[in-house]
Chains A and B, each alone.
Chain A
Amino acid sequence: MPLSIAEKSYLYDSLSSNAGTRPDGRLPHQFRPLEVYTDFLPSSNGSSRIIASDSSECIVSVKANVVDHQVQQDLFQVEVDIAGQRDDSSEVETLTSLLNRVLESRGSIDASKLKLTRKYSYKLFIDVLVISSSSHPVSLISFTIFSALNSTYLPKIISSFDDLEVEELPTFHDADMVKLDVSPPLVFILAVVGENVFMDAAANESEVADNGLIITWSGDKIVAPIRTVALNNSDVKGFNPLVLQRGIQMVQQYAGDVVRAFANL
């Protein structure tokens, strides 16, 4: 969305002022409302669809496969598809690698929850489809993955846990499913304008942002990856390192509320 110079300078002056007035009047740490649908894809283990109030929309499906975890270390695999963009475009590839990094087995997520036996584990294939997005989609995708993983049910194992001595393949109960209990990390995107940071920047705020911060949060603490990202092509500037600290503080302070809001659905 190209903005006129007068619009940009009005928005920039509003956002960078001490009061930090946002165009929709939100507080700096306030998110826009979301609508969540879960468990609607019959052929996947978990699914979620989030529609943001600016009609950005993202669908995530989680499917499981049993793998030998000595052969395959990574138990999460994320594939991102953004409508209107090629699979090998830089944005899609950056997002895919970022999200794979967030859900890395040796990272902050507890992969032992996927362990079936001493030899076998579940491997989760997370397919992301961004149907439309007017600003940087990483936060929306992360929230959708979060709610999809929290609504994932996997078949219950009925064979024994120790299968190193007796070579046997795990067998599963016909009907019983077990709720997956991982606490996936959340990725937040913050817009930096002057000395201020803003959570969940709308399209017009992104357009004037000096820079963007990607901050990952998992279980009460900030984890890797933390990155900067350009939110627009025209007005990217450097920022005061203190702003990064303030952004991290903001995420730490309010990420718990987001998790609670998802839990209270």
Chain B
Amino acid sequence: MSSIISIAKRKGAFQQSIDAGFESGSEDEDVNMSDSIDNGPTHTQESNSTEGHIVTPGELVTDDPVWMRGHGTYFLDNMTYSSVAGTVSRVNRLLSVVPLRSRYTPETGDHVVGRIAEVGNKRWRVDIGGKQHAVLMLGSVNLPGGILRRKSESDELQMRSFLKEGDLLNAEVQSLFQDGSASLHTRSLKYGKLRNGQFCQVPCSLIVRSKNHTHNLPGNVTVVLGVNGYIWLRKTSKMDMARDAPSGISAPGPSNGAPIGAKTLRSSDSVSITRLEEESSWQIYSDENDPTISVSLRQTISRYANVIKALAFCEIDITHERIVSAYEASMVYPSVGSLIDREVMETIGQDVLTAEKMRGTPS
């Protein structure tokens, strides 16, 4: 039966469940609270020491007025309370609460995946899951015909032939505006329109910012982990393979006469960055998928999408290593479809954490 549908019965709803939970678990919490109120100084000391502990909306963070109040806090009668559920962060004298769940807040240099929401005057508006749409200027994309090409009026008129509403792309946050919205750029061959795969979304708080956000996974799949929680899974292309291959001289084949420092982008057919011009043809804006994506590869991509969702379900930070480890743990289940089950997702999450403990990987 469970292979057709799994239905779980949950107890209570709305106010009742909250009441019930509160009554049953209230005793020890109450004791804690009265303790901390009785000896106030200890409480402040304690909260000072426990940097990064979790607070809930309305909880007293500190009664020390020296702290500057940052995001996620409010101030009443010289006391600072949390206005969101999250972890306390203290930077110098600035006290803020970083919410556990929130919309994505862009930072310069973030590698994000976004979807075109609107084509406007010399710019695209991109949905990156933030509070506002990000802006991608016509001047911040590689136009067909090479890096040295000047953008002309005809480009402004045919912006939809490059990127149109609904298109997915990966980009880097170039700068931030005063209101916190982002300006993106795709001026590198690793950014641009996304093809040959499927999209998957997780809460952005689960993506760890790292040096590299594009990873080749076992099974000929490449993942683009947008810092905003938008994830693209695709068939590994030649370019993806070249990126992971040892750069420069160690690439197979005779060393080419590229100037020192010029990185080989494609080791297989030796296209250096100096030949960017040929690479950035209309092809980079094509909507055609690779016609040779096999059924088994599609299933592998589905499996990766499911294990990523399983990690998100277990609230485990998503990194390259963990995706691979979860993928290996998921191999126990031959059917990809069984991975959507709650118990299976929990088991995979457990397996990942246990494997990490055994290996002693710092988490």
Interface residues of A (CB under 8 A from B): 2-7, 9-11, 13-14, 17, 19, 21-27, 29-38, 40, 49, 53, 204, 254, 257-258, 260-262, 264-265
Contacts and interface: CB of A to CB of B under 8 A. Distances in A.
25 contacts: A2-B165, A4-B115, A4-B168, A4-B287, A5-B166, A5-B287, A9-B287, A10-B196, A21-B299, A23-B302, A24-B302, A25-B339, A31-B5, A33-B7, A34-B7, A36-B8, A36-B10, A37-B10, A38-B9, A40-B12, A40-B14, A40-B16, A254-B4, A261-B1, A262-B7
B68 interface: no
B322 to A, nearest CB: 19
A165 B336 CA distance: 65
Contact of B293 (A5, A13, A26): A13
Nearest to A9: B289
Interface centre among B4, B193, B196, B340 (most CB of A within 10 A): B4
Given A6-B196, A40-B14, A49-B13, A34 B299 contact: no
Contact of B288 (A6, A11, A53): A6
A264 B6 CA distance: 10
B5 A261 contact: yes
Interface residues of B, number: 45
Interface string B146-169: 000000000000000000011110
Contacts of A265: 7, 9
Contacts of B115: 2, 4
A264 to B, nearest CB: 8
B267 interface: no
A25 B8 contact: no
A11 B166 CA distance: 15
A4 B166 contact: yes
B337 A36 contact: no
Contacts of A261: 1, 4-7
Nearest to A6: B195
A59 to B, nearest CB: 9
A218 to B, nearest CB: 18
A17 B165 CA distance: 27
A155 to B, nearest CB: 23
Given A30-B337, A32-B340, A257 B4 contact: yes
A257 B6 CA distance: 10
A39 to B, nearest CB: 9
Nearest to B198: A23
Contacts of A17: 295, 298
B197 interface: yes
Contacts of B194: 4, 6
Nearest to A23: B198
Contacts of B341: 33
B303 interface: yes
Given A4-B115, A6-B167, A257-B5, 13 more contacts: A2-B115, A5-B287, A6-B195, A6-B196, A22-B337, A23-B305, A24-B309, A27-B3, A27-B337, A34-B6, A34-B8, A40-B12, A264-B7
